[in-house]
Amino acid sequence: MTFNRNALPAVADVLALLSIEPTRSNGSGYAQVKCPIHGESNPSLSIHLERGNWRCFACGEAGGDALELYRRARGLTFAQAARDLGAWEGK
């Protein structure tokens, strides 16, 4: 069982799985989205659409990639999240 980072979907595709529609990025590469971890009506979470690093300025959660956001939003282990995203090879 191996994690294959190269098999991870694009950041926008991971957001789509979480039913998040990112606003267009503002030139810095970051988009503002509604935080799927604490739940809110105003977008407080900033995520880089290429690198996937993110931070929520309302609840303070942050992570280095879109997989981590998906994992926290769904309450999964790393392996479960990687498997969901098709980046876990083997059984």
List of residues contacting Zn ion (CB under 5 A)? 35, 37-38, 56, 58-59
CA separation for the pair 34, 22 (Å, rounded):
9
> In the complex with Zn ion, which residue's Cβ is closer, 36 or 85?
36
Distance of CA 22 to the CA centre of its chain: 11
> In the complex with Zn ion, which residue's Cβ is closer, 60 or 86?
60
> In the complex with Zn ion, which residue's Cβ is closer, 20 or 37?
37
**Is 59:45 a contact under the CB 8 Å cutoff?**
no
CA-based torsion, 68, 40, 32, 85: positive or negative: positive
